[in-house]
Chains A and B, each alone.
Chain A
Amino acid sequence: NAGVTQTPKFQVLKTGQSMTLQCAQDMNHEYMSWYRQDPGMGLRLIHYSVGAGITDQGEVPNGYNVSRSTTEDFPLRLLSAAPSQTSVYFCASSVEAALFDEQYFGPGTRLTVT
């Protein structure tokens, strides 16, 4: 199993540009989520999905969109990038929708918005 994969590893955007961060897992996990990690603030939940076709907002959803058309994929879209979205983004998955299982994290995407 490849586990949780994320692409790209690094990205530089200009303010106002749009892009999609890709996340895929091959473990048939129901629950997937996106976090951002900023210095001094820990990881914060952006959006999550408890299964295909179902998404919900986390702690910091503004400026981000998600969709879950398949069990395997959970892309994160930035429609109009802002410097405040400069961060490291992590995708995670777990077996159960109720989060009773350990989380598996991807390697992260480091995004810089200028």
Chain B
Amino acid sequence: KQEVTQIPAALSVPEGENLVLNCSFTDSAIYNLQWFRQDPGKGLTSLLLIQSSQREQTSGRLNASLDKSSGRSTLYIAASQPGDSATYLCAAEWANNLFFGTGTRLTVIP
């Protein structure tokens, strides 16, 4: 069974700090990996999509990396802001199925 794991489940950091969120997956034959943001009571917003042939993607203060051989992806957030507080989910795709981790709940303290 394909599994996606995110550790830690929750993280609190002071404003301005750089941080890394971790995602691991069991099968290296993924098609792509996506990072999402979910605000309380809301749907998911796609942040970054990394194709299986890519190593990283960047958008503004966000940088996501992918290492298929080790089954890991990281989301780097630079200069964190209180508005970054949300739950961050990673999802890996195998053959038309998207498998999600349970997320990391991030709190950025002003």
Contact = CB atoms under 8 A, between A and B. Distances in A.
Are A and B subunits of one complex?
Answer: yes
Interface in A12-61: 33, 35, 40-45, 48, 50, 56, 58-59
* Best-buried of A48, A58, A102, A107 by chain B (most CB within 10 Å): A102
B97 A101 contact: no
A107 B49 contact: no
Given A40-B102, A42-B102, A100 B31 contact: yes
A79 interface: no
A47 to B, nearest CB: 11
Nearest to A39: B102
* Best-buried of A103, A104, A106 by chain B (most CB within 10 Å): A103
Contact of B46 (A58, A99, A104): A104
A90 to B, nearest CB: 6
B24 to A, nearest CB: 13
A42 B4 contact: yes
B66 to A, nearest CB: 14
Interface residues of B, number: 24
A99 B102 contact: no
Interface string B5-46: 000000000000000000000000001101010000111111
B45 A105 contact: yes
A99 B89 contact: no
Contacts of A107: 42-43
A2 interface: no
B51 interface: yes
Contacts of A45: 97-99
In order of increasing CB-CB distance, the 4 nearest A-B pairs are: A102-B46, A105-B43, A42-B100, A43-B100
15 contacts: A4-B43, A40-B102, A42-B89, A43-B89, A44-B100, A50-B96, A58-B97, A59-B97, A92-B44, A99-B98, A100-B31, A102-B46, A103-B44, A108-B41, A108-B42
